[in-house]
A = this chain, B = another copy of it.
Amino acid sequence: MGFADRLHQRIRVTDSRVCLGIDPRPETSPLTDPAGLDHDRQRVADAVADAYEAVLRETHRYLACCKPQAAFFEALGLEGLSALARLMAVARELDLPIILDAKRGDIGSTAEAYARAYLTDGALAADALTVNPYPGLDTLEPFLQAAQAGERGVFVLVKTSNPGSADLQDLLVRGGLTVHEVLAERLAARAQDLPAGGSGYTALGAVVGATHPEALNALRRRLPRSVLLVPGVGAQGAGPEDVAGAFDAGGLGAVVNASRSLFDVEATSLEALASHAADAVQRLQRGINDALNARG
């Protein structure tokens, strides 16, 4: 079964459209002591993996998927990447789809190497990978081919959630579209040639920030065969009501990521942290579902 179908099956079973962002910031984690541990990467990496393993085991029933952010693990060096491998193994054990947020992108055989790293097998293989399209549409092909071959997915950055996303993405191109709209049209054309499973969606997804509700609505229409991965809810300021436009008429076709806002607590134990995260995930789950129901 292709990635989009697997993801939708899970959305139906859990009634959740929430993606748990795994962004281990040692400096803000309740389970590390920056003063004491900051210079011991192995201990920080172990603490991070312990914390998120507890959270995954407590929250997975309320999740559509999880999204480890590669940067925070890479910041902990080789020890951090081992912690990432450990958490990915936990997610696999829980049958929780993994979108690795690594925003890779490069040309030719280099893109093939990244696809081999994250969309085939091995300790860091994910169900889907985020990729950066700036090098060009040809550079997405190795990722799409690996995704097709392995029933995995690709999420192409289209419109990011940060203030500076307008700098290049919103430049107005001759013809009247913005750069990110031109990109979306090209991606939609490419998705026409990719098989869609029972869900109606292909392996070619898109990343669109929740902080731009209008773009979210427009891109939902422009990309009818692409699952949208929507970051920006919570700490970045968007709420569940901002993301309703990411979903199709049946309330499907998107997942909403939250990271920091789920861990906004001074927990003193793994149990307290995991329990708080489970409450926060369920609040977001209900918030999104309520916003979809209110849309009618």
- Rounded to whole angstroms, the CA-CA distance of A217 and B146 in the bound complex is 37
Question: A163 contacts which chain B residues (CB < 8 A)?
Answer: 136, 138
A157 contact set on B, CB distance < 8 A:
134-135
CB distance from A233 to the nearest CB of B (A): 14
Indicate if the CB atoms of A139 and B164 lie closer than 8 Å: yes
A51-59, A109-117, A239-247, A275-283 - the one binding chain B: A109-117
Which B residue sits closest to A122, measured CB to CB?
B77
Q: What residues on B are CB-neighbors of A291 within 8 Å?
A: none
Closest residue to A176 on the B side, CB-wise?
B174
Main secondary structure, interface of A, reads helix
User: A106 at the A/B interface (Cβ < 8 Å)?
Assistant: yes
Contacts of A150 in B (CB 8 A): none
Q: Are A114 and B77 in contact (CB under 8 A)?
A: no
Contacts of A132 in B (CB 8 A): 103, 105, 132, 134
Number of interface residues of A (CB under 8 A): 57
- Encode contact with B along A157-172: 1 for CB under 8 Å, 0 otherwise: 1001111111111011
B110 near A138 with CB under 8 A, answer no
Copies of this chain held together in the complex: 2
- Which residues in B have their C-beta under 8 angstroms from that of A218? none
Name which of A67-75, A193-201, A220-228 contacts chain B.
A67-75
| Cβ distance A115 to chain B, nearest Cβ, rounded Å | 9
A210 to chain B, nearest CB (A): 13
CB A274 to nearest CB in B, in angstroms, measures 23
A binding-site residues for B, Cβ under 8 Å = 23, 25, 41, 69, 71-72, 74-75, 77-78, 81-82, 85, 103-111, 113-114, 116-118, 122-124, 132-139, 157, 160-169, 171-174, 179, 182-183, 186
7 A–B contacts, CB within 8 A, in A order? A75-B114, A103-B104, A105-B132, A133-B168, A136-B166, A137-B167, A167-B186
- Per CB-CB distance, the 3 closest pairs between chain A and chain B, nearest first, are A136-B164, A138-B164, A107-B162
